[in-house]
Amino acid sequence: MMDFNSAIDLGPHANFIIAAYIGVLIVVFGLILSTMLNAKKQKNRLADLDAKGIRRRSDK
């Protein structure tokens, strides 16, 4: 964070700017992570079911 600050001068309100971007970062990464984890979870569920021999007629 210190490097970031010295690289470009964000002026007197640097704290607000950094806090805003960190907040955005947390929410956006949270969204991406939860989307990815959920996708993985459902794929695993289907794979488990498939391994048990439970599958739909249409997708062999």
Partner 1 sequence: MKKSSSATEQTLKKMNWFDKLAHPGQFLKWSKYLVLPLTIITILLFTIGLWFAFFNSPEDYQMGDTVRIMYVHVPNAWLSQFTYMAMAVSAIGTLVWRHPIADVSMKVAAPLGAAFTAIALFTGSLWGRPTWGTFWEWDGRMTATLILLFMYLGLIALWKSFDDQLRAAKLIAVLTLVGAVNIPIIKFSVDWWNTLHQSSSISPSGIAMPPSIYIPLFVMMFAFTFLFITLHIVGMRTEILRRKADALERKSLNQNEKRG
Q: Are 50 and 43 in contact (CB under 8 A)?
A: no
The dihedral through the CA atoms of 41, 43, 49, 55 has a sign that is positive
User: In the complex, which residues of this chain contact partner 1 (CB under 8 A)?
Assistant: 8-14, 16-17, 19-21, 23-24, 27-28, 30-32, 35-36, 38-39, 42-43, 45-46, 49, 52, 54-60
**What are the helix (H) ranges across the chain?**
2-7, 14-51
Task: Name the minimum Å distance from CB 57 to partner 1.
Answer: 5
Task: Name the minimum Å distance from CB 58 to partner 1.
Answer: 5
Which residue number, 6 or 35, has a Cβ lying nearer to partner 1? 35
